[in-house]
Amino acid sequence: MKKLLVVLALLVPACAPKPINLTPAGQTAFTADQAVVRVNELMNAAIQANAAGALDTPTTRVIVTFAVDADTVLAKTPDGWKATVKASWALAKPKITTTNSTLLLAIAAADAAIGGLQ
The three-class DSSP label of residue 30 is: helix
- Amino acid (1-letter code) at residue 77: T
Q: Please give the pLDDT value at position 32.
A: 80
Per-domain boundaries in the chain: 24-115
pLDDT tens sequence across 13-43: 445 555 667 787 787 778 788 888 899 999 9
pLDDT tens sequence across 44-87: 999 999 999 999 999 999 999 999 999 888 888 767 788 888 88
pLDDT tens sequence across 95-115: 999 999 989 999 998 888 887
Q: Are 109 and 42 in contact (CB under 8 A)?
A: yes
- Neighbouring C-beta atoms of residue 117, cutoff 10 Å: 15
pTM of the model: 0.74
